[in-house]
Structure 1
Amino acid sequence: MTVRPFRHCKQHIASIAGRYGDALSPLVVYRAAIAAGHLREDLQQMRALQPLEELHNKLKTFRPPPVPVSPPNAHPDIASDPGKGLWEKMIFMLSRADPPVDDKLKNLEGVPRGVYLFGGVGCGKTLLMDTFFDCAPLQHEEKRRVHFLEFMLEVHQRMHQLRQGHPEMGDPVPQVAFDIASSTKLLCFDEFQVTDVADALVMRRLFHLLFQSGLVMVATSNRPPRQLYQNGIQRESFLPFIDELEQRCHCYDLDSDSDYRMLAQISSGAGMYVHPLNDETRQQVESLFRGLLAGDRTCPQTIRLGGRDVEVPLAGINKKVARFTFDGLCGKPLGAEDYLGIAASFHTVLVEDVPLLTLNDINQVRRFITLVDAFYDNHVKLIISAAVAPEHLFMPEGQGSCQMSSKGARGYVPATQDEVFAFARTLSRLNEMRSHAYLIRAAAGGHLLAREAMPVILFETDSIISEKEANDLFTSYDVDASGLLELPEVHLLLQDLTERRVGHRNVMEAQVQHAFRSMDANDNGEVSRSEFLKWVNTSLANLKLTQTA
Structure 2
Amino acid sequence: MRRALRQVWHASRLLGGRHFSSNGFNKVRKVPLLSAPSAYSLSKPSYNEDILRSLTSLRAHSSIGATDSTGDAVDAARAGPLLEYERRISSGELADGDSFQIDTLRVLQRLYEQLVENENACKLDRYNTSEKSGRSRWLWSRFIPQSSYSPVKGLYLYGGVGTGKTMLMDLFYDQLPSNWRKKRIHFHDFMLSVHSRLQMHKGVADPLEAVAGEIADESILLCLDEFMVNDVADALILNRLFGDLFSRGIVLVSTSNRAPDNLYEGGLQRDLFLPFIATLKERCVIHAIGSSTDYRKMTSAEQGFYFVGDECSELLEQKFHELIGQAVPGPQVVEVVMGRQLQTLFYQVPLGANGCAYFPFEELCDRPLGAADYFGLFKRFHTLALEGVPKFGLHNRTAAYRFVTLVDVMYENKSRLLCTAEASAVELFERIVTVADAQKISPRTSPSQKTDDLDLCVDNELGFAKDRTISRLTEMNSREYLEQHEADLMEGVAQEFGEKDDTLHA
Instruction: State which structure, 1 or 2, has the greater radius of gyration over its C-alpha atoms.
Output: 1
Bigger relative contact order (CA 8 A; separation at least 6):
2
| TM-score normalized with structure 1 length | 0.41
